[in-house]
Structure 1
Amino acid sequence: MRNFSSHFRSLLKPLALAGIIAISAVNFSFGQEAAPADSSATASTAPSAGGGPAGDAAAGEALFKSNCGACHAIDKRVLGPALAGINQKQSNEWLHKWIKNSQGLIASGDKDAVAIFEEFNKMAMPAFPQLSDADIDNILAYVEEAGAKKPEAATAAGGATAAAEDTGVSSFMIIGLVAVVLIAFLVIVVLNRVIGTLERLLVTKEAEQNVYVEDEEAEAEEKDRFRVVKQLAKNKKFVFFVVLALLITLGSFGYMDMWNTGVQTGYQPVQPIKFSHQLHAGTNQIDCQYCHSGAWKSKNATIPSLNICMNCHKYVQATDKYNGEISPEIQKIYTALDYNPETQKYGNNTRPIEWVRIHNLPDLAYFNHSQHVSVAGIECQKCHGPIQEMEEVYQYSPLTMKWCINCHKETEVNSKGNAYYDKVIAAHDSIKKGEKVTAAVLGGLECGKCHY
């Protein structure tokens, strides 16, 4: 129905145009019927073609086309001027001279020849000495005859129009055609309203059908929600790439977890006594080896005994911060030693402080503090971080094999003034001299080489 409506409406303009053409055709036909009645009058009023050059127009047409047609036309300007009416503008004698030798006529100073030469950008017409006077007369006769045809045709058309205006039959036909057009217009309007009503009904029907189809599609989608998943599961390439991606992802996470196993960077346990390294090593600037005396002479840095604490806290009790009372943390030291601050005597009910170890290497790793502190001269902060700023100590470095190896690659050995390397250098010098070097010379008799 929609296609019919659109096609029908597209025919309205052609139908209206056809009606206009039909009216014009009727007017023209009646004008033609009236024209013969006045043909004699038209013929009698036509201008006479006499008085022109005495030549053969038929022969002149062939000569004009072969010699003049390239540059001239009868009724329009080409390279040269239009030739219609040239016989009335110039004399026959002048035309003969111009055609045979236009350049000579210009050179003689002829006013008309010079004016034409100037008008056409000083382009002289080629001379035609091969044409005889009879040939030129024939050409001029053809030009006059061809130029007279168009005015006669225009006069005949004017007479036919006047005859059509005088007839009364054409007016009657026009009124009839107008009535037919009006009736057709009314029919078109009525049909258009009917088509509009049918279209609205059709649209309503299609909307109802679309709603029904959408409901069916929605129900079908609800019934088969996993249709796409089922299709992808049948695709072997897709399944392969999904499994591969899962393996790579899970493997990456597993590798990272395994790599970080045993790494306790940032580990900060709660200690039984809130000992502040910031206060002791930072503010009071107590050397690390005063408490950890084993760091410069043994494998272990050692945990300081409470006797070392009592060297200071037998007298330092921080009572000014606790309203004359002994600091609770210092009191814990006294309690562990069964020490009475009033009598300054120790009892027999002593018990150790259970410190929680922070830096803990696996049993398979051998680390010697004296080798790094005494021999290499490495500061405690290199491994333990800014210990003088820590209120509570935490593990600063990862202490992994990779971390240790990178440090050994970057640290430069300074052997000057170091007794440990003096023995090694002496052994190397002996080897260079070819002397015998035993394992004992290289420290093979030290117990720690085997027993650690």
Structure 2
Amino acid sequence: MRNFSSDFRRLVRSLMIVTAITLGTSGMVSGQGTPADSTQAAGAAAPAAGGAAVNGDPVAGEALYKANCTSCHAMNKRVLGPALAGVNQKYNDEAYLIKWIKNAPAMVASGDERAVKIYEEYNKAAMTPFPQFSDDDVRNILAYIQVEGDKKPEAAATGGAAAGAESADTGVSNFMIIGLVAVILIAFLVILVLNRVISTLERLLLNKGEAILAEEDEVEEEAKDKFAGLKRMAKNKKLVFFVVLGFVILLASFGTVEMWNTGVHTGYQPVQPIKFSHQLHAGTNQIDCQYCHSGAWKSKNATIPSLNVCMNCHKYVQATEKYDGEISPEIKKIYTALDYNPETQAYGDNPRPIEWVRIHNLPDLAYFNHSQHVKVAGIDCQKCHGPIETMEEVYQYSPLTMKWCINCHKETEVKHEGNAYYDKVIAAHDQIKKGEKVTAAVLGGLECGKCHY
């Protein structure tokens, strides 16, 4: 122990020497870094030159632009309409641009050469007229377009210069030096405290060594006594019997629960290739379920809608206002699968299917017909699928077990009034009551699904 103490003191002296050398080196580096830092700060403070005069109020124009223009236009990229950066310099005719924005279809109808050329270039997609804008409103929008279009290249250049300046900064800040000194002082104090603790432990071990050994012997005896108690308990046959019985009951309970829930996938929520939101479509936009899942009304399967159904809306709805003029990434996946070019609005020759992951999957031994429940019985989709209109991502709401189906059949009242299907069933029952002949054909024996399943 005394050898360890002397080694520890030598280590303390070495650390003190290293501390002094480190502080001196840090001061030299800090002194050398000061001129470079001041030069860099002076360079960063230089104002950017340039900037064209802007007519109108770009701040007011920004609100008008984002509320009315972003669904069809972006600054530096063609969407449904042309890119708007540089439009003031391209046409250099404020009166013409004001007239165009207020009523573009009228200019095309009048035969204006430039208007007709733009109309033909963009697949004869007419621009929405804005007669509610005043001349000052249009000037404000054009001012915002000019400022925003000029700002992006400068921002990129400024970002590059800032990155270069940051990479060139190799000096040591005062904060780093103060932090280093504080860490060294704290380490020095910790070393002193540890040295004092070691000295105290040496005295305790020398003065009370025998007492510690005696306590260790007592602990070993107590441990032996504990094991002896366990051995006595193991010899008690009644206790052993009840412990084993409880263990068997516990295992049987866990096994029963696991076997009962085998094949039950309540809450199953796989990741789909497209993040389709039922909350947005069925909830916020209140689109009827059967607009997409038309098979639920007329066939056994609800069917997965084709991408052509999606394109009924998303050929025009692109959510560009939420992505800074860019098309939504999820809508882009639809375009990619269809090999569709949103700029030319043309389809390619390499379409690919979307590989959706099935969620509600009954075993082959179970026959379920959507039309029998939706059309004949008039059951709502939420009865089985839960609050689908609130689900951001769909999950399996019901257990879909045989017990669950049987309980539903026991509790659900059949509404046969005015239902042609049940009229035939009730008529057959009336024939039976009267003693008349009832053939299999009367009970639906000629339906294809009775044999061709």
Per the normalisation by structure 2, the TM-score is: 0.51
* Counterpart position of 2:391: 390
* Counterpart position of 1:349: 350
- In the TM superposition, 1:251-400 aligns within 5 A as 251-400=252-401
Distance 1:325 1:221, change over 3 A: closer
Distance 1:220 1:270 in 2: 60
Distance 2:262 2:373 in 1: 26
Distance 1:218 1:352, change over 3 A: closer
Distance 1:222 1:427, change over 3 A: same
Distance 2:441 2:412 in 1: 27
Structure 2 residues not aligned, in runs of 5+: 1-214
Describe the superposition over 1:119-144 as per-residue Cα deviations: whole angstroms up to 9, x where unpaired. Answer: xxxxxxxxxxxxxxxxxxxxxxxxxx
Describe the superposition over 1:26-54 as per-residue Cα deviations: whole angstroms up to 9, x where unpaired. Answer: xxxxxxxxxxxxxxxxxxxxxxxxxxxxx
Q: How many residues align?
A: 240
Q: Which structure exhibits the higher relative contact order, with contacts defined as CA atoms closer than 8 Å and separated by 6 or more residues?
A: 2
Q: How far off its partner does 1:343 sit?
A: 2.2
Q: How far off its partner does 1:265 sit?
A: 1.4
- In the TM superposition, 1:74-89 aligns within 5 A as none
Q: How far off its partner does 1:286 sit?
A: 0.6
Distance 1:322 1:216, change over 3 A: closer
1:409 is paired with a residue whose SS is helix
* Counterpart position of 1:234: 235
One-letter identity of the residue aligned with 1:288: C
Q: How far off its partner does 1:241 sit?
A: 1.0
1:253 is paired with a residue whose SS is helix
Distance 1:342 1:217 in 2: 87
Q: How far off its partner does 1:267 sit?
A: 1.4
Distance 2:219 2:306 in 1: 80
Distance 1:227 1:426, change over 3 A: same
Per the normalisation by structure 1, the TM-score is: 0.51
One-letter identity of the residue aligned with 1:280: H
* Counterpart position of 2:45: none
Q: How far off its partner does 1:220 sit?
A: 4.8
* Counterpart position of 2:403: 402
- In the TM superposition, 1:47-196 aligns within 5 A as none
* Counterpart position of 1:176: none
One-letter identity of the residue aligned with 1:327: S
Distance 2:219 2:355 in 1: 71
One-letter identity of the residue aligned with 2:272: Q
Structure 1 residues not aligned, in runs of 5+: 1-213
Distance 1:429 1:440 in 2: 16
2:272 is paired with a residue whose SS is coil
Describe the superposition over 1:33-85 as per-residue Cα deviations: whole angstroms up to 9, x where unpaired. Answer: xxxxxxxxxxxxxxxxxxxxxxxxxxxxxxxxxxxxxxxxxxxxxxxxxxxxx
Q: How far off its partner does 1:376 sit?
A: 0.9
Distance 1:259 1:382 in 2: 23
* Counterpart position of 1:149: none
> Cα RMSD over matched residues?
2.0
Q: How far off its partner does 1:447 sit?
A: 2.4
Q: How far off its partner does 1:304 sit?
A: 0.4
Distance 1:215 1:267, change over 3 A: closer
- In the TM superposition, 1:22-37 aligns within 5 A as none
* Counterpart position of 1:145: none
Q: How far off its partner does 1:316 sit?
A: 1.3
Q: How far off its partner does 1:301 sit?
A: 0.3
One-letter identity of the residue aligned with 1:362: P
* Larger-Rg structure: 1
Q: How far off its partner does 1:387 sit?
A: 0.8
Q: How far off its partner does 1:215 sit?
A: 10
One-letter identity of the residue aligned with 1:418: N
Q: How far off its partner does 1:302 sit?
A: 0.3
1:296 is paired with a residue whose SS is helix
1:226 is paired with a residue whose SS is helix
Distance 1:374 1:215, change over 3 A: closer
One-letter identity of the residue aligned with 1:403: W
